[in-house]
């Protein structure tokens, strides 16, 4: 009975957590698809290595995971982590080993989730979960002597970015470019990387991060691209080089590393702003609902979000008016909130600990 209560409470906590952020759920984190020229009785070692690298990057959210010593060692025998594989026929041409062009086979590799998570732990990393922040992408281009214009959502460039985002486990949104979009932001605003106009136009989509690209086609047919990434008041700029496909991959990988980096602290943690509050002895659903409602009603509390759960401990992130002392004073008025301790974690991140009283 107690286990059922705990499981139900966990479900409620996660539902509350995911309702407060603009995250999307990603499926197939432990699977990867490769386009290969032929079917084999067993996938080649290089194919398994490529697949394992892709899954580890997707599950951990970090491209640097492949350089960890534990991962480098595991990549020597990738078959030990494989759960199953299968093939699907396609109409996509690929080059065979002898130079011929043949219709490719889609090789789907499913890796063992338990073994993957164990490997990440050995590497000092962890799976960041299926709930991921979303990335909104705006593009403008100029080809030859033509005027600058928005890139259409159905363009090949957006399709390439969508494929790269799927490989990284990053939800990607594209604008509708309807009258609302074009009335709210001129192409010159996008080309000039004018943040207020970009953020205002993006607000209707409620993304977690926004990526803006301006693409200039040179006279020789090559492309020069520049990019701006916005997230939580921070910004990053990119100016990749090489073929357009390589530039898109470079930008998407750098953007994914940055956008997903906030998910590394805890399996159930996404929101990082606000004071950390941990409450112990929350044994049933009634306690949890009463506690959550109580915190929301406190005068200094502007926002309260569930950030994690561990047995009977519930972790919150609380955004305040007046600082932590105002919260401590307000909680003294309720005898069911008994202070346990106050600790300061790394980076001077204060955590208030309380016990929920019977």
pLDDT at 78: 96
Q: SS3 for 261? A: helix
- 41 to 52, 280, 341: CA distances (angstroms): 18, 54, 60
pLDDT at 268: 33
In sequence order, what DSSP letters do the residues of 157-192 get, joined into one string? HHHHHHHHHHHHT--EE-----HHHHHHS-HHHHHT
Exposure letters 206-220 (e unless 16+ CB within 10 A, then b): ebbbbbbbbbebeee
In sequence order, what DSSP letters do the residues of 55-78 get, joined into one string? HHHHHHS-GGGGGSHHHHHHTTSG
Backbone angles phi, psi at 92, to 5 degrees: -95, 120
Return the structure tokens found at 260.
Answer: 């997903």
Neighbours of 28 (CB within 10 A): 14
Q: SS3 for 308? A: strand
pLDDT at 301: 84
Q: pTM for the full model?
A: 0.68
Return the structure tokens found at 164.
Answer: 């790269």
pLDDT at 333: 75
Distance CA(150)–CA(78), nearest Å, equals: 43
pLDDT at 1: 46
Neighbours of 44 (CB within 10 A): 11
Distance CA(78)–CA(93), nearest Å, equals: 27
- pLDDT truncated to tens, each residue of the chain (358 aa)? 444 444 444 444 444 443 334 457 788 999 999 999 999 999 999 999 999 999 999 999 999 999 998 999 999 999 999 999 999 999 999 999 888 999 999 999 999 999 999 999 898 888 998 889 999 999 999 998 899 999 999 999 999 999 999 999 999 999 999 999 999 999 999 999 999 999 999 999 989 999 999 999 999 999 999 999 999 999 999 999 999 999 999 999 999 999 998 775 433 333 346 788 888 888 776 777 788 888 888 888 888 877 666 667 888 888 887 777 777 878 777 777 888 866 554 444 678 888 888 7
Q: Token match 């398994």: residue?
A: 48
């Amino acid at each position: 009975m107690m286990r059922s209560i705990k499981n139900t409470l966990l479900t409620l906590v996660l539902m509350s957590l995911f309702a407060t952020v603009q995250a999307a759920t990603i499926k197939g984190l432990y699977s990867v698809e490769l386009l290969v020229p032929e079917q084999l009785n067993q996938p080649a070692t290089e194919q398994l290595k490529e697949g394992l690298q892709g899954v580890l990057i997707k599950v951990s959210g970090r491209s640097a995971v492949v350089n960890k010593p534990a991962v480098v060692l595991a990549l020597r025998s990738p078959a030990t982590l494989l759960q199953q594989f299968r093939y699907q026929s396609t109409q996509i041409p690929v080059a065979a080993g002898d130079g011929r062009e043949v219709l490719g086979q889609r090789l789907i590799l499913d890796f063992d989730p338990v073994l993957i998570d164990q490997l990440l732990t050995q590497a000092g990393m962890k799976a960041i979960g299926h709930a991921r922040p979303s990335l909104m992408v705006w593009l403008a281009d100029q080809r030859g002597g033509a005027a600058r214009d928005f890139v259409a959502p159905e363009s090949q460039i957006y399709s390439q970015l969508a494929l790269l985002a799927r490989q990284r486990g990053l939800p990607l949104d594209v604008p509708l470019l309807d009258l609302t979009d074009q009335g709210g932001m001129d192409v010159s605003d996008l080309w000039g990387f004018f943040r207020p106009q970009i953020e205002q136009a993006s607000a209707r989509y409620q993304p977690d991060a926004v990526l803006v690209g301006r693409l200039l086609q040179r006279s020789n047919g090559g492309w020069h691209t520049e990019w701006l990434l916005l997230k939580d008041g921070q910004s990053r700029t990119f100016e990749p080089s090489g073929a357009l496909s390589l530039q898109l991959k470079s930008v998407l990988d750098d953007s994914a590393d940055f956008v997903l980096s906030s998910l590394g602290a805890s399996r159930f943690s996404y929101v990082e702003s606000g004071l950390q509050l941990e409450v112990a002895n929350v044994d049933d659903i009634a306690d949890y609902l009463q506690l959550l409602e109580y915190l929301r009603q406190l005068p200094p509390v502007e926002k309260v979000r569930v950030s994690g759960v561990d047995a009977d401990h519930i972790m919150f992130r609380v955004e305040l008016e007046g600082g932590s002392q105002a919260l401590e004073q307000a909680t003294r008025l309720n005898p069911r909130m008994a202070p346990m301790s106050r600790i300061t974690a790394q980076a001077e991140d204060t955590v208030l600990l309380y016990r929920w009283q019977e």
